[in-house]
């Protein structure tokens, strides 16, 4: 399955973004309210990602600095070297990149514009659906259907 198909199957709530000069505390509040594990950092309203801030980034800094890290700016904790995918990438390639990079969310870029966000859960779900369809096709062939 390709990324564009995965994005079509997701809820159309859009990608939650925050500017790089927002506080980490603001990011935590949004993540808690929306029940999400990542916020894309974008200073232009969401078209161009400048970075990504995850629960892991925040917990890592809490361990280093303690609760005072919540007063810092998002740009101080975010991952700014983004690995992205395109709508034509396969779920296998996305899973491979995420596994190798040890991250769980990836912006989907169509040229220079972000068109979505895909999670490892989205990619696994798509891959499982592919495997189930293959299994059903093989079972049908064996059973003569």
pLDDT computed for residue 143 by the predictor = 83
Give 66 or 10, the one with higher predicted confidence. 66
- Tell me how many domains the chain contains: 1
CATH number at residue 56: 3.10.580.10
Q: How many CB atoms lie within 10 A of CB 111?
A: 7
Q: What domain range includes position 98?
A: 3-143
Mean predicted confidence (pLDDT) in 82-87: 95
103-145 pLDDT, tens digit per residue, is 999 999 999 999 999 999 999 988 888 888 778 888 888 887 6
Closest CA to 53 of 12, 103, 7: 103
Split at pLDDT 50, 70, 90, the class of 38 is: very high
Stated pTM of the model:
0.86
């Amino acid at each position: 399955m390709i990324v564009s198909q995965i994005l079509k199957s997701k809820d159309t709530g859009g990608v939650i973004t925050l500017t790089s000069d927002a506080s980490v505390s603001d990011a935590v509040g949004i993540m808690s309210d929306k029940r999400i594990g990542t916020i894309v950092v974008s200073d232009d309203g969401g078209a161009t990602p400048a970075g990504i801030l995850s629960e892991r980034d925040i917990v890592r800094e809490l361990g280093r600095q303690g609760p005072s890290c919540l007063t810092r700016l998002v740009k101080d904790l975010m991952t700014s070297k983004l690995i992205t995918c395109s709508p034509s990438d396969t779920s296998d390639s996305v899973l491979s990149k995420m596994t190798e990079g040890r991250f769980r969310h990836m912006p989907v870029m169509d040229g220079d514009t972000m068109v979505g966000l895909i999670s490892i859960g989205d990619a696994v779900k798509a891959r499982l659906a592919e495997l189930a369809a293959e299994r059903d096709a093989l079972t049908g062939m064996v059973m003569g259907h």
